Each structure stands twice: as structure tokens, then as C-alpha cells.
């Protein structure tokens, strides 16, 4: 099934998103990681769209969504959550399952908790956290800040693809066609003619806020919905100790938490192979 591409004004920003499936079907919001775009979910959305309406936004500052003129203020979960709320309202989505990779999962955690935005209370039916948790490794954050804050530029798209293959090797297995798709859906051309990843380098301002946004245990403890955590077996972002702690708090004390490790992946599983699609589908079905 083919997707459609759309733009919507959300919290003062022009937000781009792709839509899959019939609007009458139960909704799934699929939100990407820090330096990625909504097109990362193309393969998964194609699998889900026969049974779900799948909405895959580009966060502001990424992909085809508008960049911020005040990055220190706007590249934050508070602003992202408000754009997400406006997106759901603009699309007349009362409730949705939320699938979030890395930053997109943390955003889902903030939205589902509804502590800062009470209007979100009851709007998220279930939460799938793809290699993200309420607490993350400071070492991994430093690594992410280093590569995301200074994106490289190359003369040709194949050179950029070679960079992506190395930088995103922890995503796990990709066919050659999938690597090319990842590259071509996350590339922009600079004024000097070179190509670079399709995001505003200032997105890392999120990590330099006066009040850090992590940890998120308060938000996690506020959840009363089914939660699934998919952790890359080689992830450097979330630890097995953190997963164990999750089982002793919040949804973990209410038999609402599932955790699974994904072999052959680090940060973060790409959700691009049948075994991972099956895990996602089984989780969604169990919460419908």
C-alpha cells in the first residue's frame, strides 16, 4: 500500500507527516529518533497499514518539517509534545497506539504520562519504547551529541550512504536497498552542493538545557497503559539494570510491562525485518 504525504500547522510549526492505511482504522503514531525522520518507519507502516492507520511525523528540525528559529527553546520535549497534541487533534485522532524509537519513545512517554500536558491524558492507548527507557547512559548521550551536532557533508549521495552504513550499523541488518532508502529519505543538499543528513544541527540543544529532561521516572511511574520495551542486545543507551528497575515501578508493578531483547542490534533496532514486525504486531493486538 502506498502512503500519502501531508503538512499540518502544529503549535506554530509546519509539520510534515506520512499517512498509511484507512483513516477509519485504529491509529498508530510512529515517532522517530533524534537525528532521523518519519520515513524510517516505511517498512513497518507498510506491514501495519492493513489493520491500522499509521501516522509517521518528522519532528521539527528534521526531514521536511519546519526548523526552529529559537532552537534552545523549541528543540525540547515540551515543544515536541505540543506539536504531537496538535497533530492528533488536527487529524481527529482521539486515541492512538504510540511506537517510538529512541527520542520518539521518550516523547511518547512524556505524552502518555500527561503531567505537563493534561490534555494528553487517556489519548495514548499503548506505548512501545524502541531502545529507550526512563533512564539513559550519559556515555551514549555524549556519543550522540558528538555525531549529531556536527553532521558531515559529502560530494555525493553514495558517500553519504557509506557514512550512514557505518554510523547506523547498530540498527541491525539492512539489505542494500534498505540502506539506499534510508539514505535517500534523510538527505539534504547544502548551498555549496554537498549532501548532508536531513536535520538541523541545532537539535542537540535539547541536551544543553538548564533543567535536564532525563531521567523520566516520574513520567514512567504515572503510566497506566501497556508498555513494551524493545532493547537492542548491544545497546549502549539503556542498560539491563534499568529494564529490571522498570519492572519494579509504574506499569511494571501492574503487569503492564513487557521487555524483549533484539539480537544483532545496538541502538536502535530498525524495525525493518519480519521478526521485529511480528513483535510489534503482537503487542498492538494484545492491547486492542
Residue with cell 515501578: 249
| pLDDT tens digits, 205-263 | 999 888 899 999 999 999 999 999 999 999 999 999 999 999 999 999 999 999 999 99
pTM for the structure as a whole? 0.97
Which pLDDT score is estimated for 70?
97
Residue 150 lies in a domain: no
Task: List % helix, strand, coil for the chain (3-state, nearest 5).
Answer: 40, 20, 40
Alpha-carbon distances of 53 from 6, 19, 115, 193, 225, rounded to whole Å = 14, 7, 27, 37, 20
Contacts 24+ apart (CB under 8 A), 120-123: 120/81, 120/85, 122/95, 123/85, 123/88, 123/94, 123/95, 123/96
166 in a structural domain: no
CATH of the domain at 228: 3.40.50.1820
- 158-168 pLDDT tens trace: 999 999 999 99
Residue 176 C-alpha cell reads as 542494500
pLDDT at 156 over 90: yes
DSSP β-bridge partners for residue 229: 129, 259
Quick check: is 148 in a domain?
A: no
- What distance in Å separates the CA atoms of residue 117 and residue 82, rounded to the nearest whole number? 8
Average of pLDDT values for 172-189? 98
Q: What's the whole-number mean pLDDT along residues 27-53?
A: 98
84 is a domain residue: yes
Query: Is a pLDDT exceeding 90 seen at residue 67?
Result: yes
How many domains does the chain divide into?
1
Binning pLDDT at 50, 70 and 90, where does residue 192 land?
very high
Average pLDDT rounded to a whole number, residues 94-108: 98
Q: Has residue 193 been placed in a domain?
A: no
Q: Is the pLDDT of residue 1 over 80?
A: no
What CA–CA distance (Å, rounded) separates 19 from 2?
9
Q: What pLDDT is stored for residue 69 in this prediction?
A: 97
191 lies in a domain? no
Contact 15, 63 (CB under 8 A): no
- Helices then strands, counting H and E runs in the chain, come out as 10, 10
**Residue 206, domain member (yes or no):** no
- Residue 108: which domain range? 4-142+215-287
Residue 151 belongs to a domain: no
Quick one: which H or E segment has residue 75?
Answer: none
Amino acid at each position: 500500500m502506498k502512503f500519502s504525504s501531508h503538512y499540518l500547522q502544529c503549535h506554530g510549526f509546519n509539520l510534515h507527516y506520512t499517512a498509511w492505511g484507512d483513516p477509519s482504522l485504529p491509529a498508530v503514531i510512529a515517532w522517530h529518533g533524534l537525528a532521523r525522520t518519519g520515513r524510517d518507519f516505511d517498512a513497518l507502516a507498510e506491514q501495519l497499514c492493513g489493520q491500522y492507520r499509521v501516522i509517521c511525523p518528522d519532528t521539527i528540525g528534521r526531514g521536511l518539517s519546519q526548523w526552529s528559529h529559537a532552537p534552545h527553546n523549541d528543540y525540547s520535549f515540551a515543544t515536541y509534545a505540543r506539536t504531537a497534541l496538535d497533530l492528533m487533534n488536527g487529524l481527529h485522532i482521539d486515541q492512538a497506539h504510540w511506537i517510538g524509537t529512541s527520542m520518539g519513545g521518550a516523547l511518547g512517554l512524556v505524552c502518555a504520562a500527561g503531567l505537563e500536558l493534561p490534555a494528553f491524558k487517556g489519548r495514548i492507548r499503548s506505548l512501545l519504547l524502541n531502545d529507550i527507557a526512563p533512564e539513559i547512559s550519559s556515555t551514549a548521550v555524549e556519543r550522540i551529541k558528538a555525531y549529531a551536532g556536527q553532521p558531515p557533508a559529502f560530494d555525493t549521495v553514495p558517500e553519504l550512504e557509506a557514512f550512514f552504513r557505518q554510523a547506523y550499523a547498530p540498527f541491525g541488518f539492512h539489505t542494500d536497498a534498505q540502506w539506499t532508502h534510508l539514505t535517500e529519505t534523510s538527505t539534504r543538499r547544502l548551498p555549496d552542493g554537498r549532501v548532508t543528513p536531513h536535520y538541523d544541527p541545532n537539535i542537540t540543544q535539547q541536551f544543553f538545557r538548564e533543567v535536564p529532561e532525563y531521567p523520566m521516572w516520574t513520567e514512567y511511574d504515572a503510566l497506566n497503559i501497556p508498555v513494551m520495551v524493545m532493547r537492542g542486545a548491544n545497546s549502549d543507551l539503556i542498560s539491563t539494570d534499568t529494564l529490571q528497575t522498570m519492572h519494579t515501578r509504574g506499569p511494571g508493578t501492574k503487569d503492564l510491562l513487557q521487555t524483549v531483547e533484539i539480537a544483532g542490534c545496538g541502538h536502535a533496532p530498525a524495525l525493518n525485518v519480519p521478526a521485529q514486525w511480528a513483535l510489534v504486531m503482537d503487542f498492538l493486538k494484545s492491547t486492542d
